[in-house]
Amino acid sequence: MNQVKTDEGPRMHPDLELLLELQHIDYDIGELERSKEYMPDMMGSLQNEIDISSKAIEDARVELVELTARQKTCELEVTSMQEDLKRYQSQMLSIKTNKEYDALVTEIDSLKTRISECETEILAAEERIEELNGSQEALESNAKVIAENNGKQLAKLQERMDSVGDKIAECQHERQRIVAKVGKPSLSIYERVRRGKAAPVVVALKKRACGGCFKSVPPQRYHEIRKGDKVVCCDNCGRLLVYDATSDIPKE
């Protein structure tokens, strides 16, 4: 890792150099861990789109079958009721009492109403069947495009998922290598602050202030940090401080 330098040369304690490397690794591990959480959701959304488009085709097919069957049933009912209507109308010629006449008229009116309802249902079914037949090709084309596009993305995400575990293991191995080289007091500070504060833990001074909480650093502490011969923490947030000429004010 490149050292943070000033115009006077390296100005960083060895432990801090190692902790900066450790901080980068911890960041990478965190990103990999987060990817393990969000990638399944992304894959689920992609698969859900495929399932929805396929279901739209199946729903249309089922509806088409049901409508066709219902249309035929209604047509048979209409045929049967029309025959009954003819028979009742012929019976009108032989009716002898008002009571029989009223009963037959009521039955004829009821049949006409039911015939009208069935004919309306048949017309509605015909329109819907025509609409479904016309949309079937579009539904199948849309499902094919979604399956192809989402399938490619799913394959890539699965490949990334499969590699996340290996990458985390590699980072953990490198982390242990660096941890073994860091002084225990410095490592203890790093781990304590990392658990209690938002990253980063090791921050550069910015205009003589902590780059994490922006609290001004006393002049004596500032010069200690510039010398780079000891590990210095921010009195306010506890972060580890390093000097970086590119982010601090020019030397007077």
Domains, the chain: 24-163 (1.10.287.1490)
Question: Two tokens at 235?
Answer: 């009195």
Q: How far apart are CA 250 and CA 12, in angstroms?
A: 17
More confident residue, 198 or 228: 228
Predicted local confidence at residue 1, as pLDDT: 37
- Tens digits of per-residue pLDDT, 12-33? 899 999 999 999 999 999 999 8
Band (95; pLDDT cuts 50, 70, 90): confident
pLDDT of 3 reads 38
| pTM score of the predicted model | 0.57
Q: Quote the percentage of the chain above a pLDDT of 90.
A: 75
User: How far is CA 164 from each of CA 26, 70, 102, 178, 189, rounded to the nearest angstrom?
Assistant: 14, 54, 84, 21, 29
Q: Where are the beta strands (DSSP E) in the chain?
A: 5-6, 9-10, 202-204, 232-233, 240-242
Would you state the pLDDT for residue 36?
A: 83
Q: Is the pLDDT of residue 244 over 70?
A: yes
pLDDT tens track for 55-74: 999 999 999 999 999 999 99
Tell me what pLDDT residue 11 has.
64
| CA nearest neighbour of 233 among 195, 178, 185, 175 | 185
What would the mean pLDDT of 227-248 be, rounded to a whole number? 89
pLDDT in tens, 153-204: 999 999 888 889 899 999 999 999 999 999 999 999 999 999 987 679 999 9
| Calculated CA dihedral for residues 38, 39, 43, 46, nearest 10 degrees | 70
Q: Tell me the C-alpha distance between 152 and 42, whole Å.
A: 13
Q: Quick: pLDDT tens for 199-222.
A: 799 999 999 999 999 999 999 999
Q: Put the strands of the sheet holding 232-233 in their side by side order.
A: 202-204, 240-242, 232-233
Report d(CA 30, CA 156) in Å as an integer: 21
- The pLDDT-based confidence of 10 (bands split at 50, 70, 90) is very low
Closest listed residue to residue 223, CA positions, set 245, 208, 233: 208
User: What's the pLDDT at 9?
Assistant: 46
Q: Is residue 8 predicted with pLDDT exceeding 50?
A: no
Query: For position 44, what pLDDT does the model report?
Result: 94
